[in-house]
Amino acid sequence: MLRSKHRTGLTVGGLLILGIAIPPFPWQLIPATAQQPALSSQQLAAAEAQRNEPPYVPKTKAELRRQLTPMQFKVTQNAGTEPAFRNQYWNNKRAGTYHCIVCDQPAFESTAKFESGTGWPSFFQPIDPKAVGYQNDFHLAFPRIEVHCSRCNAHFGHVFDDGPAPTGKRFCMNSASLNFYEGGAAKQETDTTAVVSQP
Q: Which domains does the chain have, with CATH numbers?
A: 41-50+59-182 (2.170.150.20)
Please tell me the predicted confidence (pLDDT) of residue 117. 96
- By the 8 A CB rule, do 79 and 155 touch? yes
Distance CA 70, CA 104 (A): 18
CA quadruple 190, 191, 195, 197: dihedral sign: positive
Q: Give the catalytic positions in this structure.
A: 172
Closest by Cα among 107, 78, 122, 82 to 179: 107
Query: For residue 146, what are the CA distances in angstroms to 150, 167, 179?
Result: 12, 17, 19
pLDDT of residue 55: 82
**Distance separating alpha carbons of residues 199 and 154, to the nearest angstrom:** 22
Cα(26)–Cα(35) distance, rounded to whole angstroms?
A: 13
According to DSSP, the residues that pair with 11 across neighbouring strands are 16
Peptide bond into 106 cis (omega under 30): no
pLDDT at 185: 54
pLDDT of residue 173: 98
> What's 6's DSSP letter?
S
Is pLDDT of 158 > 90?
Answer: yes
The residues, ordered by sequence, that sit 6+ positions from 20 with a Cβ below 8 Å of its Cβ are 6, 7
Compute the mean pLDDT over every residue in the chain, rounded to the nearest whole number. 80
Residue 98 pLDDT? 98
pLDDT of 28 above 60: no
Residue 139: its pLDDT value, please?
Answer: 85
Q: For 32-80, how does the pLDDT look when each residue is reduced to its tens digit (9 = 90+)?
A: 433 445 667 766 776 676 677 678 889 999 999 999 999 999 999 999 9
